[in-house]
Amino acid sequence: MGVEDKDFIMRQIKQLGEGLGNFLGKEDIDKILSFGEDAEKEIKDSAMEKKAGIDSSSKKIETKPS
């Protein structure tokens, strides 16, 4: 790819970023940027809930009278 092609692509990316910046507000941009962190937190929370569910169900089985 030539230098001119790379310059064109970079100009397009810059214009896209500027357009999105005008279209979206600061709060929206912050949400987009923090999306990865939120997703990781939800995965960890879900894993903890599953583990807690397994622990509580195994306790119910152990304490259930025969």
Looking at 2-34, list the stretches that DSSP marks H as alpha helix, in order from N- to C-terminal side: 3-23, 26-33
Per-residue pLDDT, 14: 93
Provide the pLDDT for residue 60. 60
pLDDT value at position 36?
Answer: 81
* Domain boundaries along the sequence of the chain: 36-66
What does the pLDDT read at residue 9? Answer: 93
Indicate yes or no: pTM above 0.85.
no
Q: Where do we find the tokens 């995965």?
A: 43
**What is the reported pLDDT for 25?**
85
SS3 state of residue 25: coil
| Mean pLDDT of the residues in the chain | 80
Query: Is residue 46 classed exposed, middle or buried when 0-12, 13-18 and 19+ CB atoms within 10 A define those classes?
Result: exposed
| 14-34 tens-digit pLDDT | 999 888 888 888 888 788 888
